[in-house]
Structure 1
Amino acid sequence: MNKTGSLYVPGNSLFHRLDGAVKLVLFLCWTVMTYLFLDLRVFAIMLIVGIVLLISAGLPFKRIAFLFWLMITFTLLNAVFILLISPRFGTTLTGTDTPLIPLGYGKINAETLFYVLTLSAKYLSLLPITILCIFTTQPSAFAGSLNRIGIPYKISYSVSIALRYIPDLTTEFKTTLNSMQARGMGVTKEDGSISQRLRNLAAVVVPVLQSALHRIDSVTNAMELRGFGSKRKRTWYSGQEMTPMDWIVALIFVIAATIAIVLKINVLKGFWYPF
């Protein structure tokens, strides 16, 4: 967390200079392209482009490590659950069955393995763009950009507050967890059974949620005292006009999303399985 209390990492890359609304358009277009397809070739290209863009932003890995490993863990768990629960699901997509790994109650076939690989690539292709949009955008600038494209400023300001308080809540959760562990109420394997660890975790989560609700109430009262919402419009301290580069980047990604839709309708219609 930086000095502004947000996830924003200062920098001078192209993504840092882009308008917040353009980043939102980019993220939406990228998400549309991701969920249109079930084709490993498409996701491989998107993942490579995303990694190149992420490297160009110059973000330190230690700042994005938590989100990175969280997404990797989710993808691995999702893959394992699919393989264990539906070991022959790929057959419904390809019409073929090539058994590979025995499980006792069935066999994981090659089609399901390839489907899981494709699905994992789909999720991971979203990771670089998500990190870029979160860590290269100042909350206030992003809220001002949203308001400028027509989103009510109350909603825009809510987004800004949420982005600012996520790091604070994360820090408070870690602090509370460390204090509980110091009292012998940990959440690791050495701290008891699963039920006991869940009770210990609940003892950490509940105070953090109560603190979050208290903060929400305090912020709400402070905003009401300052007359927030009494006017139909408001100005933004960090507001800025869109530059030609913003328009060019937005246009490129809108065109890319349009091409993706055309390809989905006419060429890449279903699950791609090369074998």
Structure 2
Amino acid sequence: MSKSGSLYIKGNSIFHKLDGSIKLLMLICWTIFTFMFMDARIFTLMIIVGFLMVYIAGLPLKSILPLIIFIIVFTIFNSIFLIIITPDYGSKLSGHYSVALNIFNIKLTYETLFYALTLSLKYICMAPLTILFIFTTEPGTFASSLNRLNVSYRVSYAVSIALRYIPDVKSELGNIINAQEARGLAFRRGEANFFVRMKNYISVLFPLLLSSLQKIDVISNAMEIRSFGKYKKRTWYNRKPLTIKDFTFVVLSILLIVLGIYLKTNVFKKFWCVYF
């Protein structure tokens, strides 16, 4: 996190120099390409390429690790629910039925386990480009970058302010937890069991919500006083012209979609599974 309180991390990499609208376009194309397939081989390659780009961006691990952990934990819980609710869904997709576990006549198949793994890889694929977009895009210039894509400047500012205030919400959450700990509530491992700690964490959501709503009211009043939104269009003080690098990544993003359509049509047409 930068000293300004935003998630933007200063750097001199090629991704820091790209216009914010180009990085948003890259993220959209990467997402479309990802959701075209259900193939672990493609997702593994995309994860390698994606995190290679993160490495080139020179982002410190301690800054991006919380987001990576969140995505991994989300994929694990999602896979667990998938396996519990539809223990034979992978077999229906693959056409093969290999029982891995039989509990109370509920049969969990190897194909479903592999499907859950593939789905987890699919979600993890989204992490690298999301990290690049969030941590290499300066919030102050992001609104003008979105507006370059013909997004209304009102919407552009809303997204920019949301990104800018994520660290503030995180800081406010820490303050609320510290205040609750001073009142005797347990939030740390060893102070109480898991369910009590989860209940205590839920109890901080209401004051966090009230604090966030209060900040929203202050910001909206300040912008209304300045007649924000009066005109349909506006000019930008810090907008920079697109460079050759920006156009290069636009072409690469479009080629990625074209490649995805070709592969989906001719090569990777359905769910790929290692049969057991």
Q: TM-score, normalised by structure 2?
A: 0.93
Cα distance in structure 2, aligned partners of 1:169 and 1:105: 47
Q: Is the CA contact (8 Å cut-off) linking 1:39 and 1:118 kept in structure 2?
A: yes
Q: Give the equivalent residue in structure 2 for 1:74.
A: 74
Equivalent positions of 1:83-162 (< 5 A) are 83-162=83-162
Q: Give the equivalent residue in structure 2 for 1:55.
A: 55
Q: Which moved more, 1:86-95 or 1:27-36?
A: 86-95
* Partner AA of 1:207 in structure 2: P
Cα distance in structure 1, aligned partners of 2:105 and 2:15: 50
Q: Give the equivalent residue in structure 2 for 1:259.
A: 259
Q: Residues 201-227 of structure 1: CA distance to partner in whole angstroms, max 9, x if unpaired?
A: 343111111111111111111111112
Q: Give the equivalent residue in structure 2 for 1:247.
A: 247
* Partner AA of 1:26 in structure 2: M
Cα distance in structure 2, aligned partners of 1:53 and 1:254: 18
Provide the aligned length of Structure 1 versus Structure 2. 274
Q: Residues 144-202 of structure 1: CA distance to partner in whole angstroms, max 9, x if unpaired?
A: 111122111111111111010011001111221122123122245743683x5555334
Q: Give the equivalent residue in structure 1 for 2:18.
A: 18
Q: Is the CA contact (8 Å cut-off) linking 2:114 and 2:274 kept in structure 1?
A: no
* Partner AA of 2:76 in structure 1: L
SS at match of 2:76: helix
SS at match of 1:133: helix
Change in Cα spacing, 1:102 to 1:188, as seen in structure 2 (3 Å) is farther
Cα distance in structure 1, aligned partners of 2:103 and 2:21: 49
Change in Cα spacing, 1:131 to 1:266, as seen in structure 2 (3 Å) is same
Cα distance in structure 1, aligned partners of 2:207 and 2:148: 37
Cα distance in structure 2, aligned partners of 1:140 and 1:249: 22
Root-mean-square deviation (CA, aligned residues, Å) is: 1.8
Cα distance in structure 2, aligned partners of 1:235 and 1:5: 26
**1:221 equivalenced with 2:206 (yes/no):** no
* Partner AA of 1:220 in structure 2: S
Q: Is the CA contact (8 Å cut-off) linking 1:185 and 1:191 kept in structure 2?
A: no
Q: Residues 46-85 of structure 1: CA distance to partner in whole angstroms, max 9, x if unpaired?
A: 1111011011111111111211110010111112222233
Q: Identity of paired residues, percent?
A: 45
Cα distance in structure 2, aligned partners of 1:193 and 1:124: 27
Q: Give the equivalent residue in structure 2 for 1:41.
A: 41
Q: Give the equivalent residue in structure 2 for 1:203.
A: 203
Q: Residues 88-134 of structure 1: CA distance to partner in whole angstroms, max 9, x if unpaired?
A: 22111112111123444433221111111111111111111111110
* Partner AA of 2:180 in structure 1: M
The alpha carbon displacement at 1:4 in A equals 2.0
SS at match of 1:230: coil
Cα distance in structure 1, aligned partners of 2:193 and 2:256: 52
Structure 1 residue ranges without an equivalent (≥5) = none
The alpha carbon displacement at 1:27 in A equals 0.4
SS at match of 1:191: coil
Structure 2 residue ranges without an equivalent (≥5) = none
SS at match of 2:204: helix
Cα distance in structure 1, aligned partners of 2:103 and 2:16: 49
Runs of 4+ in 1 over 6 A off after TM superposition: none
Q: TM-score, normalised by structure 1?
A: 0.93
Q: Which moved more, 1:83-92 or 1:69-78?
A: 83-92
Q: Give the equivalent residue in structure 1 for 2:192.
A: 191
